[in-house]
Amino acid sequence: MPPAIRLLSPATINRIAAGEVIERPAAAVKELVENALDAGASRIEIILTSGGIARIEVIDNGCGIAQSQLALAIERHATSKLADEALVRISTLGFRGEALPSIAAAARLTLISRPPGQDAAARITVAGGAVGAVSPAAGADGTRAIVEDLFYATPARKKFLRTPRAEADAAERAVWRLALSAPGVAFRLVSDERVMFDVPAQAEPARVAALFGRETAAAMLPLDAWREDIRLTGLAAPASLTRATMALQSFVVNGRPVLDPQLRMSLRLAYRDVIAPGRHPIAALRLEIPEDALDVNVHPAKTELRFADAGGIRSLIMGAIGRLLERPVSLAAAPPAFPSLALRPPASTTPGTMPAPPSAAARGFAEAEFASFAPAARQITPDPTLTTHPLGAPVAQILDTYILSVAADGALVITDQHAAHERLTEERLRAEFSAGRVASQPLLVPVVVDLPPADAMRLLAQAATLARLGLEIEAFGPGAVLVRALPAALKNPDAAGLLRDLADEFAEHGTPAALEAHLDSALARLACHRSIRAGRRLTPEEMSALLRDMEATPRAGTCSHGRPTFLKLSRAELEKMFGRRGM
């Protein structure tokens, strides 16, 4: 006989549903902090014990929960956040009515809440789904949520938790994202009596500086872009500043912190041509989108979204970041960090007089010292007037490969001459490509490429577009294409392989992106071969001209392969390297 079908008990149903929302302590922390933000809190404190496995406490000064509604608040799908049930215009972080009952089904939950004007606070306790009575309690205005012994009621889930330290790190990341989404709210996070961060209500740039690090935030650039009724604001780092992971990436959509793969992909594509493989950009981005053009009801965790105009969002991010990266090289102007390296005319010791030149013995010592590393480094008489430029005045060429200069802020700048000139050359070639001057190389013997009839038709339908990109084709019977010319920059490509790739691209996207990808790669290779090589000795005028061109060229902070073209050593960095901090 087949097994009998039966209904699960409400307690079991709640525990199953809880697993979709609360899979680890970080998820419980996220849901409780979101409730505090939705309650209008201006100050939120989070206290964790054993990574939140043993205890989570979230204290806020929001609007609180009335005593008469405290028991209803822990019922499944009970919420105060939906004005209607259309699920179209959702302006709050929470709306599903699942967080508190899910936590209560998997742990021991205590809520102590007091709305302003209520005589006293009220308390309710739920343990593994068993609801206690509402009772009076002492408490300030706002809500205090206490979660203890998480997953004691679902031991199968508890055994899959990681170490308390790992769970604490995940919870910290969740609060970090929420703190970035609400800079006007003060946040304090304590883990096992250790303060992880404590930030006041502040402006968004100050919040980014507090959570990304001040040196990182100081290098980031502001952006503000529109596309119809969608606005993108925030800060993004130059291509020369990257990380090994995506840890310093923040996305906020309509005030909601998200980990949306579409947004991450858009950011990665925006930096694709200017950072090295395996490195990740740094950005804190905020999108404002009409509520009816956004679906947040995609996943119980509400960290992924569905956009009505996903292509428009991608174009907005890529375009705004692209324009940001095209800004010329700039190092923040500041007083010289270490004046001894700031090049300027020597000051007089007495009005109207100049210091005496160094003695012959001193000159001889300096010359002898420099001669000892002469092939490795070549000294240059600096031009003091060039120190006003961001990359400063060249003072030496090291190993006939690196240009040493002193910037306007006194920092030491080391420039890789080949990498820098490679970027300058590629940008010139790219400008020619964008202007439509793509050279076409006719083939001495046209090549016939056999293709499936559908692929041949797709290519021939794009023949005019391909011709503008230097690829000339025409029909040559059923299922065959005749190639008469190829882009000269491609240098002896496999015509058949190129056409097959293009046909696949057209079938999927209907755009000539595959050919453009080939050309981008070719431009990078041409730039590499046409650039100043490492090991070439440059004149002072050539070094200065290279630095000036870098300052005026888009994306000059990295080469065609994503490697940095120059490094800046500030006074703080030099003191750290020499162990002088705190001296």
In this predicted structure, what is the pLDDT of residue 154? Answer: 76
pLDDT at position 21 is: 64
Q: Mean pLDDT across the stretch 517-530?
A: 60
Return the structure tokens found at 427.
């940008």
Per cent of the chain over pLDDT 70 is 77
Q: To which H or E segment does residue 376 belong?
A: none
User: What ranges do the domains of the chain cover?
Assistant: 10-199, 204-325, 415-583
25: Cβ contacts below 8 Å, ≥ 6 apart:
48, 51, 52, 53, 56, 150, 161, 167, 170, 171
Asked which of 54-68, 103-117, 394-408 is least confident by mean pLDDT, the reply is 394-408
Mean pLDDT, residues 50-58 taken together? 96
Task: Work out the average pLDDT over 326-344.
Answer: 45
Give whichever of 60-74, 475-489, 533-547 has the largest mean pLDDT: 60-74
More reliable by pLDDT, 126 or 560: 126
Looking at the predicted structure, is the pLDDT value of residue 360 above 50? Answer: no
Helix or strand or coil: residue 360?
Answer: helix
- 374/309 Cα distance (integer angstroms): 61
Number of residues written out for the chain: 583
pTM: 0.66
* pLDDT cut 90: percent of the chain above it: 33
Mean pLDDT, rounded, for 359-372: 39
Among 130-134, 431-435, 485-489, which range has the highest average pLDDT?
Answer: 130-134
User: Domain 10-199 adopts which CATH fold?
Assistant: Heat Shock Protein 90 (3.30.565)
Which one of 89-98, 295-304, 418-427 scores highest in mean pLDDT? 418-427
Look at residue 5 and tell me whether its pLDDT is greater than 70: yes
Once rounded to an integer, what is the mean pLDDT over residues 298-321?
83
557: pLDDT strictly greater than 60 = yes
Residue 364 pLDDT greater than 60, yes or no: no
Which pLDDT value is given to residue 198?
94
Supply the pLDDT for residue 18.
55
CA dihedral 365, 367, 370, 373 (to 10 degrees): -100
Q: Which residue has the higher pLDDT, 516 or 207?
A: 207
Confidence band of 224 (pLDDT split at 50, 70, 90): very high
Question: CB-based contacts of 258: which residues, under 8 Å, 6+ apart?
Answer: 251, 252, 302, 303, 304, 305
Q: Who has greater pLDDT, 362 or 138?
A: 138
Fold for the domain defined by 204-325: Ribosomal Protein S5; domain 2 (3.30.230)
Q: Each residue of 155-205: pLDDT tens digit? A: 877 888 889 999 999 999 999 999 999 999 999 999 999 999 999 999 999
- Per-residue pLDDT at 300: 62
Q: Is the pLDDT of residue 464 over 70?
A: yes
pLDDT of residue 516: 57
3-class DSSP state for residue 566? Answer: strand
396 has a pLDDT exceeding 50: yes
- What digits encode the pLDDT tens for the residues 225-240? 998 899 999 999 988 7
Q: Residue 535's pLDDT is what?
A: 77
Instruction: Could you please state the CATH topology (level 3) that the domain comprising 415-583 is classified under.
Output: Ribosomal Protein S8; Chain: A, domain 1 (3.30.1370)
At 171 the pLDDT is 94
The pLDDT of residue 335 is 31
Q: Residue range 357-377: average pLDDT?
A: 42
DSSP line for 189-254: EEETTEEEEEE-S--HHHHHHHHH-HHHHHH-EEEEEEETTEEEEEEE--TT--BSSSTTEEEEET
Cα–Cα distance measured from residue 14 to residue 31, given in angstroms and rounded to the nearest whole number? 17
| pLDDT of 397 higher than 70 | yes
The yes-or-no verdict on residue 212 having pLDDT over 60 is: yes
Give the chain's largest Cα–Cα span: 112
Identify the residue with better confidence: 238 or 583.
238
User: Mind giving me the DSSP string for 47-84?
Assistant: EEEGGGTSEEEEEE-S----GGGHHHHTSTT--S--SS
Best mean pLDDT range from 119-123, 456-460, 462-466, 546-550: 119-123
